[in-house]
Amino acid sequence: MKFSNKINYLLFAFCFVFSVAGQNSSKKPLNVIWISVEDMGPVLSSYGNKSIQTPNIDRLANEGIKYTNAYATVGVCAPSRFSIITSMYPARLGAHNMRTGDHNNFKWPEDVKFRQNKGVVDKSGENIPDYEVVTPSYVKPFTEYLREQGYYCVNDDKCDYQFNAPFTAWDDVYGGGSYKNAPDGAPFFYVKNYYTSHESRIWLRKDKPITVDPEEVPVPDYYPDIPIVRSDIARKYSNIEVLDKEVGELLEQLKGDGVLNNSIIFFWSDHGGNLLRQKRAVGDSGLHVPLIVRYPDGYRAGETENRLVSLMDLGPTVMSLIGINPPDYMDGKAFAGDFEQSPRQYIYGSADRFDECTDMQRSVLDGRFVYIKNFMPELPLIYRNKYREQIPMNKHLIELDSLNRLEGNAAYIFMKSKPNEELYDLENDPYEVYNLADNPKYEFKLKELRTQLGQWQEAIDDKGFVPESELIKSFWPNMKQPSTAKVNIQINSEYISLSCETKGASIGYQLGEDVGTNYWKLYTTPVQTEPNEKIRARAIRIGYKASSITTN
């Protein structure tokens, strides 16, 4: 790059970040948009997959920054989304099991209900009920920090956080919400979640057109190259092509509404692929995801970024880009903006109970190598799971294995017990089928990653060693969900002050025309009111029942 061009580039970058941080009062703060998709590794055409056509997502990559080393913390949605909304490791806070209950219905259950007939038990054999994870009092959904700064936050329409989404976390979270409802002049944070690439769509969309030739799809080394495998991979890719069209429609909508070029757009998947040995896996196939960030005005357009990024970095990065310094307690690290932190050296992953199946694995990746520690090596790598066996190829492969008809790499993932340690060189073995843990040439790398994993587990006090039934008792003493205390209302002259005795509780309130609606403003400072104006308030802490409503 010529010296003059380099100077111009640096000046542009400085001016962009300066305006993003909200320090230039003459400019309207930038909006932030998340395009969240399901169950998808980096298999898009912009990531080099020649058998799939995703022109709209490619457009985002061409106009933005493509991250090649982005990873989830867990290879399944609920624990992963917990890490995204809290910016914390699930295994640190006891949110690592999939899943703790139905927490996408925006209700506050009165009492715990045991799933006696589902056979969900922990390692000690105790029955596991529906419950909510209770986080430490200092942990907040990162969106509350955005709301404090005047951002209108709307989620359309998935949470699945291992706890019911607090009503203080979002301005609108009921489904079908729009950024168009933001108050005049207010910036917005908008999450649009698409389900089209979800695991379940392999069978739910089985009668939809196939747009990808099964003969052209790449077959991972851990599958046999047979028609049913190619068919389901083609279905997966065809679903992604439909998803791409949905993304294109959203981009056109944003353009038509005049917000496209005043918004930072993040595109990401909640974890890796949706087929066998992908979803729920703790290695690269389960954790590796696409991540694209498009800035307005062509900032770093078309660049590729190889730094290691965790999905729990997304929240702190949004905060950093709009001028908020993320709190120190967060495990997530901002990878852009005023408060960008140094790049990660390692990514850590976990796998524990998935529905009715229990295992325990931990992993660490450095961008080239992945190390996996199996804490229950006596169990097979591919365990029976009723949900995923609705995918035709999964069920068929299990049957082939039972008949001893799988050979070579296609038999690898059906090992009847696991080695204590696994080590894979992703550069030379992208499908993770050649375990190098016993190869003396890689002893140094094995020891390095083993040490890093052990230090991480100690640093976070890995809750995977605690039976889930004991975790629940720590969250809900006597197996009863704790309740948030009522809000205290104090009226002083023209202002109303709100407080709650429950440590860590957030307070929402309704005033004037909002009274009686589903909309709750986030309380941060005393509220100015008119004489005799009615106010309603309630409080909630993550994992607690919401308080009853207090009125003046």
| Confidence class for position 114, pLDDT limits 50, 70, 90 | very low
| Confidence class for position 119, pLDDT limits 50, 70, 90 | low
Q: Is the pLDDT of residue 7 over 60?
A: no
Interval 346-372 mean pLDDT = 96
Kind plus residue range of the DSSP H or E element containing 529: none
Count of CA atoms in the C-beta half-sphere (13 A) of 361:
32
- Residues 3 and 115: their CA atoms lie apart, in Å, by 66
> Over the chain, what is the mean pLDDT?
91
- Residues 346 and 46: their CA atoms lie apart, in Å, by 25
**Active-site residue, 153 included:** no
Burial of 297 (0-12, 13-18, 19+ CB in 10 A): exposed
Q: Lowest-pLDDT range, 71-75, 154-158, 253-257, 291-295?
A: 154-158
- Residues 303 and 63: their CA atoms lie apart, in Å, by 9
Q: Which of 340, 420, 423 is nearest to 377 (CA)?
A: 420
Burial of 454 (0-12, 13-18, 19+ CB in 10 A): middle
pLDDT value of position 110: 38
Q: Which amino acid is at 232?
A: D
- Residues 65 and 13: their CA atoms lie apart, in Å, by 14
Q: To 5 degrees, how large is the angle CA 219–CA 387–CA 417? A: 65
Q: Which of 151, 207, 224 is nearest to 412 (CA)?
A: 224
Q: Which residues contact 33 (CB under 8 A, 6 or more apart)?
A: 179, 189, 190, 191, 192, 254, 263, 264, 265, 266
pLDDT value of position 117: 35
Selecting among 15, 77, 153, 500, the annotated active-site residue is 77
Q: Which residues contact 315 (CB under 8 A, 6 or more apart)?
A: 84, 85, 86, 87, 142, 143, 326, 330, 332
- Residues 406 and 101: their CA atoms lie apart, in Å, by 36
pLDDT digit string (tens) for 473-485?
Answer: 999 999 999 999 9
pLDDT digit string (tens) for 14-33?
Answer: 444 444 443 333 468 999 99
Interval 367-387 mean pLDDT = 95
pTM attached to this predicted model: 0.93
Interval 307-319 mean pLDDT = 98
Kind plus residue range of the DSSP H or E element containing 73: none
User: Other C-beta atoms within 10 Å of 476: how many?
Assistant: 18
- Residue 457 in tokens: 């587990």
Q: Is the pLDDT of residue 13 over 50?
A: no
Query: Does residue 217 contact residue 237 with C-beta atoms inside 8 Å?
Result: yes
Query: Does residue 515 contact residue 529 with C-beta atoms inside 8 Å?
Result: no
Q: Is the pLDDT of residue 79 over 50?
A: yes
- Residue 261 in tokens: 């070029």
- Residues 437 and 419: their CA atoms lie apart, in Å, by 9
Interval 57-62 mean pLDDT = 98
pLDDT value of position 540: 98
Interval 54-64 mean pLDDT = 98
- Residues 268 and 335: their CA atoms lie apart, in Å, by 15
Question: In terms of DSSP H, where are the helices of 100-141?
Answer: none
- Residues 123 and 358: their CA atoms lie apart, in Å, by 7
Q: Is the pLDDT of residue 103 over 60?
A: yes
pLDDT digit string (tens) for 391-419?
Answer: 999 999 999 999 999 999 999 999 999 99
pLDDT value of position 176: 85
Q: Is the pLDDT of residue 348 over 90?
A: yes
Q: Is the pLDDT of residue 125 over 60?
A: yes
Count of CA atoms in the C-beta half-sphere (13 A) of 48:
5
Q: What letter does residue 5 receive in the DSSP assignment? A: H
